[in-house]
A = this chain, B = another copy of it.
Amino acid sequence: MKIITIGREFGSGGRELGSRLADALSIPCYDKQIITEVAKLHNIEEKQIEKITASDIRSIYASTIGGSFDLPFYYHHTPLNVIISQNEIIKNLASQGDCIIVGRCADVILKKYNPLNLFVYADKASKLKRCLERSENGESEKEILRQMKKIDKARASNYYHFSGNKWGQKESYHFCINTSKTEIKDLIPSVAELAKAWFK
């Protein structure tokens, strides 16, 4: 099985890299689709699921305490159960065949497949530029930077809770790709070659 996972800093272009790499390798890339699946399973709006899965797991633990523990497990729609469902969906998707999974600690969850683990990062200025270009709600620079900090902090916390390792530390990945000074599309032939070498 050829599984590629992509960890990424907020705004670094990790999602675009995953999507373009998937096209180059003719395999599916799962990103937002995972949210859709979890939302269906729990019958909760996608936006709500997105909010939960992007949250720091420490706040999720907190909101689970005092939850209704007299119901059977599968009836729970607590944030913690949403995360557990997300992990199951990731495992299920991976079991179906070669794929790319963006974020969501997939490198940890899918460790048994010996995935190729990439990490995409960039300097603050280029991440801000990318976010501003893609902003649909006209957020200010200040708002984007605040969001960037918050989301990456949550990712780091969650990664640590799942793996015991430091999120974004190069030792946790096979290739770390700085997108500050190149177009994502120009990086694809190189990363596709890497994937070929990894899975040969």
Complex Cα distance, B171 from A181, in Å, reads 12
Cα–Cα, bound, A80→B197 (Å): 43
How many residues of chain A are within 8 Å of chain B by beta carbon? 26
Q: In the complex, which residues of chain B have a beta carbon less than 8 angstroms from the beta carbon of A176?
A: 170, 173, 175-176
Q: Which residues of A contact B (CB under 8 A)?
A: 119, 121, 123, 168, 170-171, 173-178, 180-182, 186-187, 189-191, 193-194, 196-198, 200
A-B contact list, 19 entries, CB within 8 Å: A121-B170, A121-B171, A123-B171, A170-B170, A170-B176, A171-B178, A174-B181, A174-B182, A175-B176, A175-B177, A175-B178, A176-B176, A182-B197, A186-B197, A186-B200, A189-B193, A189-B196, A190-B194, A190-B197
Residue in B closest to A197 when the chains form the complex, CB atoms: B186
**A119 surroundings in chain B (CB, below 8 A):** 170
In the complex, what residues of B have CB within 8 A of residue A182's CB? 174, 197-198
B187→A194 contact, CB < 8 A: yes
The closest CB in chain B to the CB of A198 belongs to B182
Q: Which residues of B contact A121 (CB under 8 A)?
A: 170-171
**Closest CB of chain B to A197's CB: distance in Å?**
4
Contact residue among B186, B190, B196 (Cβ-Cβ distance under 8 Å from A191): B190
> 8 nearest interchain CB pairs?
A190-B193, A176-B176, A190-B194, A186-B197, A189-B193, A174-B178, A170-B176, A170-B170
- Contact of B178 with A189 in the complex, beta carbons under 8 Å: no
Beyond A175-B176, A182-B198, A190-B193: 8 further Cβ-contacts under 8 Å? A119-B170, A170-B170, A173-B176, A174-B180, A175-B175, A186-B197, A187-B194, A189-B197
* Nearest residue, chain B, Cβ from A181: B174
Nearest-CB residue, chain B, relative to A180: B174
Determine the chain B residues whose CB is within 8 A of the CB of A175 once the complex forms.
175-178
